[in-house]
Amino acid sequence: MKILVTGSDGQLGSDLVPLLAREGHDAAGADITGSGASSLDITDREKTISSVVRLRPEVIINCAAYTAVDRAEKEIDAALAVNRDGPANLADAAGEIQALLIHISTDFVFNGSRNLPYDESQAADPLGVYGKTKLLGEQEVAKRLPGHIIVRTSWLYGTHGHNFVKTILRHAGEREALRVVYDQAGTPTSSFDLAGALTVMVNRYASGSAPYGTYHYSNEGVASWYDFAVRIIEGAGRLGAKLRCARVEPILTGEYPTPAKRPAYSVLDKKKVKETFGVSIPHWQDSLEKTLNELYGGGKVA
């Protein structure tokens, strides 16, 4: 199938485009940072629609997002442009050519007040600007384009781009101790694993089946940011990383104030995506180990 991946230079898009190509799809990447044919600013409505109509992909996968959670509290217009208006433009463009739009969203659409995993039927109630703009993007897609799939994910990391894993590794190389919150729980998710699940969805669509709707995908298991950080440092140490950090101190959210409020518990229930698409989901610790092996084996940490 002919597939357009927006945000292709980000951590998810960088894994997704080559994976789709290996599956035999004609996958083209587009990003606001690209040039020529690979340049696409999804916030520009006219250019987005004209580009999509010209390319005529059968599937559009929107990986583009404004993800600076704390900065979004001040840069509201910028977050709205990318997270709300961009998906709306893509949905209208997809409607023009009757393409499937797969839109990536976030666990931050939930307020985190539950102590059980969130399934797709739970009411969204985001705490901060980032989550609110992502929810608005979901709503724009849903009302404009019946033929859509929304995939919410959580705590995404990978070998490309900026993410928590690389931040912890950098700080652990510079400092003897780190302080990390332990009262926020979720599930770290490998961008490569998510790319694999999206590829399964595309293959299913190519076979003639179109199970539209909203799905949750993250790796299996539960962790706090503290648990995640400890596992990152331990895993990197086993691989011979030269780290100064000898201690990770668990702290409460109140001891590390941030501009944006974050959900205290945002674990996602994956039953629907597993039953619908038959995907096998690895545990977050196993996927983290693979990522660390790739980072250090490929020399990509810096």
Helix axes 284-298, 225-238, angle to 10 degrees: 40
Q: Which of 130, 157, 205, 226 is catalytic?
A: 130
Residue 130 a catalytic site member: yes
Q: How far apart are CA 51 and CA 261, in angstroms?
A: 37
CA 53, 56, 58, 62 dihedral sign is negative
Q: Give the distance, in angstroms, between the CA of residue 104 and the centroid of all CA atoms in the same chain.
A: 6
The three-state DSSP-derived secondary structure of the chain is CEEEEECCCCHHHHHHHHHHHHCCCEEEEEECCCCHHHECCCCCHHHHHHHHHHHCCCEEEECCCCCCCCHHHCCHHHHHHHHHHHHHHHHHHHHHHCCEEEEEEEHHHCCCCCCCCECCCCCCCCCCHHHHHHHHHHHHHHHHCCCEEEEEECCEECCCCCCHHHHHHHHHHHCCEEEEECCCEECCEEHHHHHHHHHHHHHHHHCCCCCCEEEECCCECCEEHHHHHHHHHHHHHHCCCCCCCCEEEEECHHHCCCCCCCCCECCECCHHHHHHHCCCCCEHHHHHHHHHHHHHHHCCCC
Helix axes 86-97, 45-55, angle to 10 degrees: 30
- The type of residue at 218 is S
Residues taking part in catalysis: 130
